[in-house]
Structure 1
């Protein structure tokens, strides 16, 4: 039996809604042309959300520092060495400093023992959190002193390179030392820097800017 006019009108409305992707046919997200996932329209990009995310990041970094401190305290007990632990957050990384006298054994030649200890500490954090850490470790103020020395060295080398208009290679350095030099050279007009070689002989080369 043919339905009444109101029933037919209702059927037409339902069909139109379904064709338009209404409630009975929920829209699905289609990938972008480059294959990436589309941005969800329900994501919260409000200032309040950004502040909350920033605060959570600081909490996470502070937790990294605390885990690292526990690991280092146990290590100091094993090697029978005394040292106070200072925890901080700088930028996007946790910073842990072992402060005290007679800690040269934990620094080693050219800071190589310190670099190895930093990697072990990062692994201890990874084991606890499941997240790769960029934690920075200093022992006995070694990094602070070395940073000042390297900045002076980089400035001197930059002036020589500009005057002679030819590259100059520095001695092999640790990743930390190379970064200090690269960061300083990046602030000086007329020169650029790059790294070459393989660890532990990897070094910085300062060149005239083209």
Structure 2
């Protein structure tokens, strides 16, 4: 006779099926200590903040770390008051690299993929303003008669920001391309 197992499955915010509880029928399976998605995000934020704090200490940089959760993601902000040298980490490529390292640190501790967003010294806000200017330039091209206007390739998070900006302005956008070449195309609809 073979062992029969049961699984309790659920879907996450992306619609992917995840195993919540797995156990064999007829065996003593401890009661599931399921935590809420918000608690998981809080844990992600705490792990990420600890990782970033250690990194700042190693680099002898000063910064205040804020943790927030919204839209199914943990948001970690590193800011500094006064004359801090935190700006050396606030370049977009550096922030993206640090974000990926932080996501890996969280995944190592939790065993689950992290979608956290890292902001250093207001770099995300500055990038959002820059994306707004790119959309403005694309609108000028549309006003000049172009049927559509393609923006440069960017990360999925940046494309989402562009889609939001475009929607606020009553236009239509779509992502096209694959991998590193994935970009947003804007049109009047």
| TM-score for the superposition, normalised by structure 2 | 0.70
Q: Which residue of structure 2 lines up, in the alignment, with residue 77 of structure 1?
A: 57
Q: Which residue of structure 2 lines up, in the alignment, with residue 60 of structure 1?
A: 40
Q: 1:163 to 1:141 in 2, by over 3 A?
A: same
Matched, 1:86 2:86: no
> Where do 5+ consecutive residues of structure 2 fail to align?
1-33
| Contact map agreement 2:68 2:76 (CA 8 A) in 1 | yes
Separation of aligned partners in 1, 2:122 and 2:107: 25
Please state how far the C-alpha of 1:173 moved relative to its aligned partner. 3.2
Q: Which residue of structure 1 lines up, in the alignment, with residue 101 of structure 2?
A: 120
Matched, 1:192 2:176: no
Match of 2:131 among 147, 150, 158: 150
| Contact map agreement 1:122 1:132 (CA 8 A) in 2 | yes
Partner deviation per Cα, 1:57-112 (whole Å, 9 max, x = no partner): 1111111100001100110111111101001111201111011133232123xx01
| Structure with the higher fraction of residues in strand conformation | 2
Matched, 1:132 2:76: no
Partner deviation per Cα, 1:20-77 (whole Å, 9 max, x = no partner): xxxxxxxxxxxxxxxxxxxxxxxxxxxxxxxxx8x82111111110000110011011
Matched, 1:107 2:90: yes
Separation of aligned partners in 1, 2:129 and 2:177: 23
1:39-54 alignment runs, 5 A limit = none
Alignment root-mean-square deviation, CA: 2.4
Please state how far the C-alpha of 1:187 moved relative to its aligned partner. 4.0
Q: Which runs of 4 or more aligned residues in structure 1 lie more than 6 Å from their structure 2 counterparts after TM superposition?
A: none
1:131 is paired with a residue whose SS is coil
Please state how far the C-alpha of 1:164 moved relative to its aligned partner. 1.2
Partner deviation per Cα, 1:164-183 (whole Å, 9 max, x = no partner): 14222323434432221122
Counting matched residue pairs gives: 153
2:36 is paired with a residue whose SS is helix
> Where do 5+ consecutive residues of structure 1 fail to align?
1-52
Match of 2:77 among 97, 103, 121: 97
| Structure with the higher fraction of residues in helix conformation | 1
Separation of aligned partners in 2, 1:106 and 1:147: 17
